[in-house]
């Protein structure tokens, strides 16, 4: 990069500073940083490569820089789709101040929704507190532990400290993993000879197969996809379901989670939040519900269209956690479930209302869904969540 | 370093090799040679991901080595394997010879008995070949992790022989259909290109290039129709490969123009739509409407 080119670039209308070399490199590094803030998986190595690339492209041709950086810095389709907008907003602004604004604007928006969510939650919580103060007395158990496993999640939410319960949920997910692995191990003890290794070993004995080697089946955990209803009617449960999803995500490598009400949202990244207080807040925002009814059919359609091909295969268990109150067309729900069923190994519908003695799945949505489910099970307390594990083993 | 000055020239070379590339892709391919990094190409089925590697091999006039991934692909099938039968025979034959045991073993585990699989072949060529690792998403995570190691060090270690370093660094193209999420580590290791469905102009050029002798007007109609079809709500959208199949089928039937022989569309629609649901979703009335918009 020589001064002559700096002038040429200036003519093109780019921002040129006195110390061009450091200025341009600085801009590249800053651009990489901008991408990082926007959740691109780029680090120092990418920044160094970006500088190398910038040296060999014809910087008079902005498109070349764009294409080269795009190949270098993107790593998945969503990066790819967002890249042009970020590139334009960064390189076509005159001052860098505007960029900082874009970034901080994003954060501010996030905070605004957070506050709204928090307010919504407080309102809901107080309502319920009044409403269900009476039924609280119904809980009688031999021990605190039993009370905790048996009590309905909707009651638990009233208590200030839900941490012990959350820890239980977390431990439950870990235990599920352990037992599934163990089951796989037992299953893999079948006796099939690994010919190649047996022959290989027999070389020691001049070709006589003395040591037989058995084939070990690869351990494969099922892949799980959780689709969680966070609509208004699920308000009392969705926080715990999200917490459960977090436990599952920690314990199983191949897991994905979505939340829906009228729209489907991919929430795995949110669920991975390491800090437990921040996680709690975030989950509370999601669980606070966004109102406006439930469109299970449409959300599943969106899932089938955009994610199913990538996430669901013949080893996948799809969990739908919902009460089945659907404001959309039941035919659509049935049709989408049918499609999903063709792809997935099993579809399991967990319905918290099943835990109530007087409930029968007669909601139209539930009726439309029933033929395509491999299992419909209650999920209103810890005990019912624990049973899922047995069901997974049997299915 | 002015590696990108000749982008236009490179596009020309690719076109001669039978591949119409947009400039973004050409830059990515040049960048790949420059940085000696693999290129990960993603996109829907039939948009020409595999073709990139073939064209690249022709453009660099070098060999193409292909590794097709599948579930359960392991090191023995991808990197190397000992030729056990020959080893056993050699042991039997040398039984009576008076050489020491160590010597016999060294003989049996020499390169003579080594079967080289694609990954090993690719790093032992004197001229860099193009290594196509097709549908990496079908392989298991274990293999992906192993591949990552090979792609960063370009060396393979064989316990009986020692470490084999790359003679030349191959041009690696990985393709993925997105049936499984790839690891972040592999994604970061690679350059990335997302191949979308081609634009009208690009697809028209592809059809004219790959279906020689096709009537230009018919080609235009075919491409418009397919582009309209892609905008419909379908389970599997037709890719460029399907367009070419359809063009070939229509030419074989002697079709000169789509509007003159609308019946042929229904008859040959199976070239474009590959599931029963999609075929059912496109009854003659719908295709007639799309056709009316296309001609």
pTM for the whole structure: 0.65
What average pLDDT does this structure show over A291-312? 84
Tell me what pLDDT residue A9 has: 35
Tell me the range of A98-107, A187-196, A213-222, B117-126 where mean pLDDT is highest.
B117-126
For residue A111, what pLDDT is reported? 39
**What's the whole-number average pLDDT of chain A?**
72
**Using CA atoms, how far apart are residues A91 and A11, in angstroms rounded to an integer?**
15
Distance CA(B224)–CA(B227), nearest Å, equals 5
Any B CB within 8 A of A76 CB: yes
Query: What pLDDT is stored for residue A384 in this prediction?
Result: 81
Predicted local distance difference test score (pLDDT) of residue A292: 63
Mean pLDDT of A144-152: 61
Cα separation values, B55 from A318, B42, B60, B136, B240, Å: 41, 17, 9, 19, 16
Rounded to an integer, what distance in angstroms lies between the CA atom of residue A208 and that of residue B130? Answer: 42
Q: Which of B3, B191, B192 sits opposite A56 (nearest CB)?
A: B3
ipTM of model: 0.78
For residues A9-36, average pLDDT: 64
Tell me the two tokens of residue B157: 């270690």
Record the tokens describing residue A373, joined without a space.
């489910």
Instruction: Tell me phi and psi for residue A85, to 5 degrees.
Output: -65, -45
Cα–Cα distance measured from residue A58 to residue B6, given in angstroms and rounded to the nearest whole number:
10
Q: What is the mean pLDDT of residues A63-80?
A: 87
Neighbour-count burial of A200, counting CB atoms closer than 10 A to its CB (0-12 exposed, 13-18 middle, 19+ buried): middle
Strands (E), chain A: 223-229, 255-260, 264-266, 316-321, 346-351, 375-378
pLDDT band at A120 (very low <50, low <70, confident <90, very high): very low
Average pLDDT over residues A371-376: 86
Q: Report in angstroms the alpha-carbon separations of B11 from A50, A240, B18.
A: 23, 56, 11
B184 Cβ under 8 Å from any chain A Cβ: yes
pLDDT given for residue A104 in this prediction: 36
Q: What is the pLDDT of residue A220?
A: 64
Interface residue of A41, A69, A75, A308 to substitute, partner B, most B CBs within 10 Å: A75
Which residue ranges in chain B fall short of pLDDT 70?
1-5
Answer yes or no: do B3 and A70 touch at CB < 8 A: no
Q: Which residues of B touch A313 (CB under 8 A)?
A: 179-180
Answer whether A196 touches B (CB < 8 Å). yes
What pLDDT band is residue A116 in, cutting at 50, 70 and 90? very low
- Enter the tokens of residue A43: 């680090």
Query: What pLDDT does residue A134 have?
Result: 38
Provide the CATH number for the domain formed by B7-71+124-194 in this structure: 3.40.50.300
pLDDT of residue A154: 65
Where along chain B do its domains lie? 7-71+124-194, 80-116, 200-294
Q: Is the pLDDT of residue A141 over 80?
A: no
Q: What is the pLDDT of residue A207?
A: 72
pLDDT at B245: 92
Collapsing DSSP to helix, strand or coil, A331 comes out as helix
Least confident of A112-121, A179-188, A341-350, B248-257: A112-121
Q: What is the distance between the alpha carbons of residues B172 and B130, in angstroms, rounded to a whole number?
A: 6
pLDDT at A143 > cutoff 70: no
Structural tokens at position A163: 């941490």
Residues of B in contact with A75 (CB under 8 A): 40, 184, 187-188, 190, 192
Hey, what are A307's tokens? 């994610």
Question: How far, in Å, are A54, A180, A183, A227, A375 from residue A394 at the CA level?
Answer: 57, 11, 11, 21, 11
Token pair of A217, please?
């089946």
Instruction: Supply the pLDDT for residue A63.
Output: 82
Greater confidence (A204 vs A259) lies with: A259
Bridge partner list, B66: B132
Q: Does A166 touch chain B (CB under 8 A)?
A: no
pLDDT of residue B76: 85
Question: Which of A57, A74, A253 lies nearest to residue B4, judging by beta carbons?
Answer: A57
More confident residue, A240 or A59: A240
- pLDDT score, position A381: 80
Which among A58, A67, A84 is the top mutation candidate for probing chain B, defined by the most B β-carbons within 10 Å of its own β-carbon? A67
Nearest CA in chain A to B192: A71
Query: Residue B194: what pLDDT?
Result: 92
**B188–chain A Cβ distance below 8 A for any pair:** yes
> Quick one: DSSP state of residue B268?
H
| A393 pLDDT tier (thresholds 50, 70, 90) | low
CA distance A218 to chain B (A): 9
pLDDT score of A245:
86
Nearest CA in chain A to B34: A53
Cβ distance A165 to A147 under 8 Å?
Answer: no
- CA–chain centroid gap for B229, Å, is 25
């Amino acid at each position: 990069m020589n001064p002559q080119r700096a002038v040429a670039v200036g003519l093109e209308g780019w921002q040129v500073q006195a110390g061009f070399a450091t200025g341009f490199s600085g801009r590249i590094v800053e651009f990489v940083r901008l991408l990082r803030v926007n959740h691109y998986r780029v680090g120092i190595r990418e920044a160094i490569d970006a500088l190398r690339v910038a040296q060999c492209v014809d910087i008079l041709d902005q498109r070349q820089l764009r294409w080269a950086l795009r190949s270098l810095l993107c790593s998945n389709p969503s990066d790819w789709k967002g890249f042009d907008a970020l590139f334009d907003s960064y390189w076509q602004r005159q001052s860098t101040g505007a960029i900082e604004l874009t970034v901080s604007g994003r954060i501010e928006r996030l905070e605004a929704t957070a506050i709204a969510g928090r307010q919504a939650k407080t309102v809901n919580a107080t309502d319920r507190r009044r409403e269900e103060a009476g039924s609280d007395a119904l809980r009688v158990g031999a021990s605190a532990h039993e009370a905790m496993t048996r009590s309905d999640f909707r009651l638990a939410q009233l208590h200030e400290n839900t941490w012990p319960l959350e820890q239980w949920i977390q431990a439950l997910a870990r235990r599920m993993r352990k037992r599934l692995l163990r089951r796989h191990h037992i299953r893999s003890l079948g006796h099939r000879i690994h010919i190649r290794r047996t022959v290989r070993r027999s070389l020691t004995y001049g070709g006589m197969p003395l040591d037989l080697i058995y084939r070990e089946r690869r351990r494969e955990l099922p892949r799980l996809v959780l689709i969680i209803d966070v609509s208004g009617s699920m308000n009392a449960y969705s926080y715990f379901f999200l917490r459960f999803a977090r436990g599952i995500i920690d314990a199983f490598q191949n897991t994905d989670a979505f939340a829906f009400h009228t729209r489907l949202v991919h929430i795995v990244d949110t669920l991975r939040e390491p800090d437990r207080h921040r996680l709690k807040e975030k989950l509370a925002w999601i669980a606070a519900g966004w109102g406006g009814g439930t469109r299970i059919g449409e959300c599943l359609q969106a899932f089938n269209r955009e994610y199913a091909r990538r996430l669901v295969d013949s080893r996948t268990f799809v969990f739908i956690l919902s009460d089945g109150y659907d404001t959309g067309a039941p035919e659509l729900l049935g049709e989408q479930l049918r499609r999903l069923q063709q792809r997935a190994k099993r579809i399991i519908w967990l319905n918290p209302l099943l835990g109530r003695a007087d409930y029968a799945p007669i909601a139209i949505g539930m009726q439309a869904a029933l033929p395509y489910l491999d299992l419909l099970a209650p999920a209103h307390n810890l005990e019912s969540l624990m049973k899922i594990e047995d069901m997974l083993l049997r299915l | 370093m002015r590696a990108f000055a000749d982008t236009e020239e490179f596009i020309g070379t690719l076109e001669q090799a039978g591949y119409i590339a947009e400039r973004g892709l050409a830059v990515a391919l040049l960048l790949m040679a420059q940085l000696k990094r693999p290129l990960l190409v993603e996109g829907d089925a039939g948009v020409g991901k595999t073709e990139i590697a073939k064209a690249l091999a022709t453009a660099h006039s070098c060999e193409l080595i292909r590794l097709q991934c599948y579930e359960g692909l392991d090191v023995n099938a991808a990197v190397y394997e000992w030729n056990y039968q020959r080893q056993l025979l050699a042991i039997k034959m040398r039984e009576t010879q008076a050489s020491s045991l160590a010597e016999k073993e060294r003989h049996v585990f020499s390169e003579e008995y080594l079967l080289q699989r694609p990954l090993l072949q690719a790093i032992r060529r004197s001229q860099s070949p193009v290594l196509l690792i097709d549908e990496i998403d079908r392989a298991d995570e274990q293999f992906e992790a192993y591949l990552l190691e090979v792609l960063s060090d370009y060396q393979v270690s064989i316990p009986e022989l020692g470490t084999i370093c790359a003679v030349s660094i191959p041009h690696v193209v990985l393709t993925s259909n997105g049936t499984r999420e790839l690891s972040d580590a592999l994604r970061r290791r690679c350059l990335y290109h997302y191949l979308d469905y081609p634009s009208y102009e690009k697809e028209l050029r592809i059809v004219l290039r790959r279906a020689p002798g096709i009537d230009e007007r018919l080609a235009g109609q075919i491409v418009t129709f397919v582009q309209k079809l892609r905008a419909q709500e379908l389970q599997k959208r037709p890719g460029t490969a399907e367009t070419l199949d359809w063009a070939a089928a229509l030419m074989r039937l002697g079709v000169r123009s789509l509007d003159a022989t609308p019946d042929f569309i229904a008859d040959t629609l199976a070239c474009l739509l590959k599931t029963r649901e999609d075929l059912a979703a496109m009854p003659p009335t719908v295709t007639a409407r799309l056709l009316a918009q296309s001609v």
